[in-house]
Structure 1
């Protein structure tokens, strides 16, 4: 894609051969950084397998960020309702952070949702993802719900965010 933050960095469409990498990166990073148990990797695998089995290519897409052929992260736009898109599987390897790539990925995903006819987007995350939450707030997303939960083997504060496109 021509719309990239740097010459070596680019976004490309998610391909089936990316699935194992994406599941592994989510599982590894969230175990290491958040203390999550195996149920998180299982959830990511289910989301990816469902996407591969039944996504609507005109209204749903996933992208992988790469630099010189190395995968750095992912972001997905899926349908939540007829006019509401859901942001999913937004991940950026720690070494790739701080370069503006996350903002680029988020804006690209939101532009796709707008072009696909969605009026708004939602996402679900955890309060501990401070950098991602700061990015959401800086790009106009609104926090609409925050509540303590016990998920993936740890105590968390779950958050739901929304934005009008």
Structure 2
């Protein structure tokens, strides 16, 4: 089941991202600070043009995705996570579809995201949903050298 986040989900989002990325990719505490800032921004802005969705499976939170307003035409996808215990159940795709449909219902013309080449499963979902990689660069983040990527999905208006 997917639902819209509540302020009570903030700690879950922050902790689940840090724990998973630390365990799977060895990210350091600076990543946790980054996630904390992103979540705090959502809470403080409380805009109808932004949202976070939470996956609930058997009564437990198991994933998330967010849409953040960059400007009147561009949204940014982020906070995308599916707990390993429920991967393969279609939650990643459902989160992605929900975020895209949300943006299509507003005035956004495109959705951007920044990821890195380590996140192979997420990158497959981005490709499947029409995102195109438009930029690649190398940057040190979370005490690691990462090949960062910017992806864009142009939204079609009917």
Is the TM value for this pair above 0.5? Answer: yes
CA distance in 1, matches of 2:91, 2:129: 14
Post-superposition offset of 1:96: 1.1
Within the candidate set 28, 35, 38, 1:47 is matched to 38
Structure 1 runs of 4+ aligned residues shifted over 6 Å read none
Number of residue pairs aligned between Structure 1 and Structure 2? 155
TM-score for both structures, normalised by structure 1: 0.91
Alignment of 1:1-165 (within 5 A): 10-57=1-48, 59-165=49-155
Paired with 1:55 and 1:123, the residues of 2 have a C-alpha distance of 21
Cα deviations across residues 86-111 of structure 1 (Å, max 9, x unaligned)?
10101110111111110111011000
Tell me what 1:3 maps to.
none
RMSD: 0.8
Relative to the length of structure 2, the TM-score reads 0.95
SS in 2 for 1:140: coil
User: 1:139, CA displacement in angstroms?
Assistant: 1.1
Consecutive unaligned residues of structure 1, counting only runs of 5 or more, are 1-9
